Amino acid sequence: MPPVIDLAVFTFALLAAGVVSGLLAGIFGIGGGAILVPIFYQVFGYLDVPEAVRMHLSVGSSLAIIVPTSLRSFLAHRKRAAVDMTLLRGWIVAVPLGAILASVIAASASSRELRLIFAVIAFAVALRMLFNRPGWHIAEDLPRNPWKWLVGVLIGVLSGLMGIGGGVLNNTFMSLFGRPMHQAVATSAGVGVLISIPGLFGYAFAGWGEAGLPPFSTGFINWIAVLLIIPVTWFVTPYGVRIAHAMTKRQLEIGFGVFLIFVSARFLYSIFG
């Protein structure tokens, strides 16, 4: 059992991550999983959770935390009439289907493969954050079905494999097709709800009966980590929404992009180093 002081440090790190992820949920319409997953991976490793299930547990626990975070962010944005409810209704099957497919893939994937997936997608998202330009457009409106529906499935799959709420992916999609960034951010919060709820059940089922899981785990969901961070993110998210509607996000995009580069490099080193 790690010393009490070390556990206190990691508890503080988790709480700090909850604050940052809650702010990001409001600012970018994301669930904060890109921050929580690597922190969970380090903490679970320190607590001697086997490598075979450590990344799965990190992703699943992150998705469980995203449920209330995304819901709170979505409700706050909807009060401002900023959410594209038509798009969300069109994705009410596509995005959850993608999240469930992700849990099926994760059940047969190794920890190494999940880390590689996270690292590659995180690096791509980081490049988008660092070099994003508001004027970049593919078209002036969203594509028609079936392409739009397939994009929803893809966002669900990639987000479910990373343990994120899909905000950065949906923000990119909507902004490239001419939608205002504030609408993209607000709608992404709703996408997070569509991803996290089926993702939670999917990862709980996928990890059912796995050996080496820490106490108070249901499949690949650890409820101690979830219950520790949820109150913090629930309290902080509305402040992120206020920031999103009151300031430019360019500096925050750069900071988040640099963070993702670091996380991607850390995971790649753990695989190939």
DSSP code at position 82: -
Give the pLDDT confidence score for residue 199 in this predicted structure: 96
Give dist(CA 210, CA 28) in Å, integer: 34
DSSP for 9-74 reads: HHHHHHHHHHHHHHHHHHHHS--SHHHHHHHHHHHHHHTT--HHHHHHHHHHHHHHHHHHHHHHHH
| Residue 217 β-bridge partners | 222
Residue among 262, 244, 264, 242 at smallest CA distance from 252 = 244
- Compute CA 145 distance to the chain's CA centroid, rounded to the nearest angstrom: 25
Give the pLDDT confidence score for residue 6 in this predicted structure: 66
Helix (H) or strand (E) holding 222: strand 221-222
Residue 72 has which token pair? 């709170």
Contact residues for 228 (Cβ-Cβ < 8 A; gap 6+): 11, 14, 15, 18
Q: Pairing relation of β-strands 217-218 and 221-222?
A: antiparallel
Give the pLDDT confidence score for residue 26 in this predicted structure: 72
Please state, in angstroms and as integers, the Cα–Cα distance from residue 100 to each residue in 56, 87, 172, 176, 196, following that order. Answer: 14, 20, 22, 26, 10
Q: What is the pLDDT along the chain (273 residues), one digit of tens a residue?
A: 556 776 677 678 778 878 877 777 777 666 678 888 988 898 888 888 999 999 999 999 999 999 988 898 899 889 988 899 999 999 999 999 999 999 999 999 999 999 999 999 999 988 888 887 766 778 889 999 999 999 999 999 999 999 998 888 998 899 889 888 789 888 999 999 999 999 999 999 999 999 999 889 999 999 988 988 888 888 887 888 787 777 666 776 787 788 789 889 989 998 987
Residue 238 has which token pair? 């509305």
Helix (H) or strand (E) holding 200: helix 181-206
Give the pLDDT confidence score for residue 249 in this predicted structure: 63
pTM for this one?
0.86
Q: Taking the domains of the chain in order of start, what are their residue ranges?
A: 4-272
Neighbours of 144 (CB within 10 A): 8
